[in-house]
Amino acid sequence: MGGKLKKALVFIMVLFIGINIFSDNVFAAIDKYPYIDARCAVAIDSKSKVVLYEKNAYELVPMASTTKIMTSLVAIKYGNLDKKVEISVRSAGIRGSTVGYKKGEKIKLRELLYGLMLRSGNDAAIAISEGVSGSVEEFVKLMNEYASGIGILNTHFETPHGLDKDEHYSTAYDLALVASKAKENKIFNDIVGSKDVDGEKNGFSRSYHNINKILWEIPQSNGVKTGYTGKAGKCLVTSAKFKENDIVMVVLNCPGRWKETKKIYDYVSKNYEFKKIFSKGKIALKLNVGKKQLKLKYGEDVVIPIDKRCKYTSKIIKPQKIVSTVKKGDNVGELYIYKDGKKIYNSPLKAGNAVKLGNKFILPFFH
């Protein structure tokens, strides 16, 4: 048996239903969710990725300049922010929203990111693409590869700026995940949270004023990106502080995007609170494997947003049989958390100790 196959067969999973209940206050569903005037909308906790509100959140739709969240994320990861990029004919001639860069200007990649995210510059998007990958086409390939690598599965990019194309689409949920990933980066946060940037003070070619009005509409907000095209309608991806976390909210094809986003934020603030349910390193389950015992521990602090009107339960996925050797720290099983019977969160369980078994046979466990 090959080494890779052995590793793949370390454990087989079956469902074990736990009895942990975090809240048993269940209220009637009347007025449970606000009406949001948008084709698609979602709100998630940026850390746990727990969905707090959704409306057509998984529908494939055009997303306009919210595309630029991924453009900036890829540029920060793969580009040299101090590199000067010469503005090309293609960049200077792009239609739609622009900063106004002129052909032949040389602008640092760092400054282009401010033009991209604060002014929604399509010219900045083209210049960034050419500066990082040599061409728009190669940069777009990198965008799609990076999206797949971080688990963004229902999105496809054809441009770095978001102007309407038939095969350029995403979902509200995917955009929330992209924004959550981007929010892990300090450079990104500094850019999208800026209201005004003094060009002279920062060594830029010009100053930048942020067109994202949500920074003024919701005091707790710290980004992220507006968007508008004929097909996509008015779009907005917002990040706002709630307790110690960021809540990411997305509205797509939403005529009153500022007001509707504020409604979502007010709804979350009124109905949710964060609770630490399990602590990293605490024992979740003990398994007897023959004469040996395997301790399964929580792999991380489990802190999730709790809707005070709902019932929460936990379940543990545990190995039915152990094959070969389990090392301390290996992922062995998972914790699932359910809200009113619907799974909202999962987290790996870790082996708290090593258990060495023979490679040629399977031992059942008993507990």
Known catalytic membership, residue 65: yes
Distance CA 314, CA 304 (A): 12
Q: Which CATH number is 316's domain given?
A: 2.60.410
Q: Let me know whether 142 and 191 are in one domain.
A: yes
Residue ending a domain, among 182, 216, 250, is 216
Structure tokens at 223: 């980004």
Q: What does R_g of the chain's alpha carbons equal in angstroms?
A: 24
Q: Which CATH number is 122's domain given?
A: 3.40.710.10
For residue 221, give the 3-state DSSP assignment. strand
Known catalytic membership, residue 68: yes
Residue ending a domain, among 216, 242, 260, is 216
| Cross-strand partners of 245 | 242
Ligand-binding annotation for 225, yes or no, is: yes
Contact 54, 38 (CB under 8 A): no
Q: Let me know whether 19 and 136 are in one domain.
A: no
Contact 236, 250 (CB under 8 A): yes
Q: Are strands 292-298 and 302-307 parallel, antiparallel or unpaired?
A: unpaired
Structure tokens at 108: 């640092």
The active-site residue out of 55, 68, 262, 263 is: 68
pLDDT digits (tens, 9 = 90+) for 104-163: 999 999 999 999 999 999 999 999 999 999 999 999 999 999 999 999 999 999 999 999
Residue 250 belongs to a domain: no
Q: Let me know whether 208 and 305 are in one domain.
A: no
Question: Domains in the chain: how many in total?
Answer: 2
Residue ending a domain, among 216, 236, 260, is 216
Predicted pLDDT of residue 323: 67
Domain with 88 in it = 61-216
Report which DSSP code applies to 170. B
Structure tokens at 4: 């890779």
Q: Look at the block and give the residue holding tokens 């008993």.
A: 366
Q: Let me know whether 8 and 138 are in one domain.
A: no
Q: How far is CA 99 from the centre of its chain?
A: 27
Tell me the residue type at 314.
Answer: S
Residue 40 belongs to a domain: no
HSE-up of residue 227 (Cα within 13 Å, Cβ side): 32
Predicted pLDDT of residue 113: 98
Residue 351 belongs to a domain: yes
Predicted pLDDT of residue 291: 76
Global pTM?
0.89
Residue 247 belongs to a domain: no
Tens of pLDDT, residue by residue, the chain (367 residues): 444 434 433 444 444 444 444 544 434 333 478 999 999 999 999 999 999 999 999 999 999 999 999 999 999 999 999 999 999 999 999 999 999 999 999 999 999 999 999 999 999 999 999 999 999 999 999 999 999 999 999 999 999 999 999 999 999 999 999 999 999 999 999 999 999 999 999 999 999 999 999 999 999 999 999 999 999 999 999 999 998 899 999 999 999 999 999 999 999 999 999 999 999 999 999 888 777 888 999 999 999 999 989 999 999 988 777 667 888 998 888 999 999 999 999 999 999 998 887 653 344 444 4
Structure tokens at 211: 């067109």
Contact 101, 122 (CB under 8 A): no
Known catalytic membership, residue 91: no
Q: Let me know whether 7 and 135 are in one domain.
A: no
Q: Look at the block and give the residue holding tokens 């010219």.
A: 123
Tell me the residue type at 25.
Answer: N
The active-site residue out of 48, 72, 120, 133 is: 120
For residue 259, give the 3-state DSSP assignment. helix
Of the candidates 44, 42, 40, the residue with the CA atom closest to the CA atom of residue 246: 44
Residue 208 belongs to a domain: yes
pLDDT digits (tens, 9 = 90+) for 237-261: 999 999 889 999 999 999 999 999 9
Tell me the residue type at 145.
Answer: E
The active-site residue out of 46, 48, 65, 347 is: 65
Q: What is the DSSP string of 65-96?
A: GGGHHHHHHHHHHHS-TT-EEEPPHHHHT--S
Q: Which residues contact 216 (CB under 8 A, 6 or more apart)?
A: 195
Tell me the residue type at 93.
Answer: G
Q: How far is CA 254 from the centre of its chain?
A: 21
Contact 189, 222 (CB under 8 A): yes
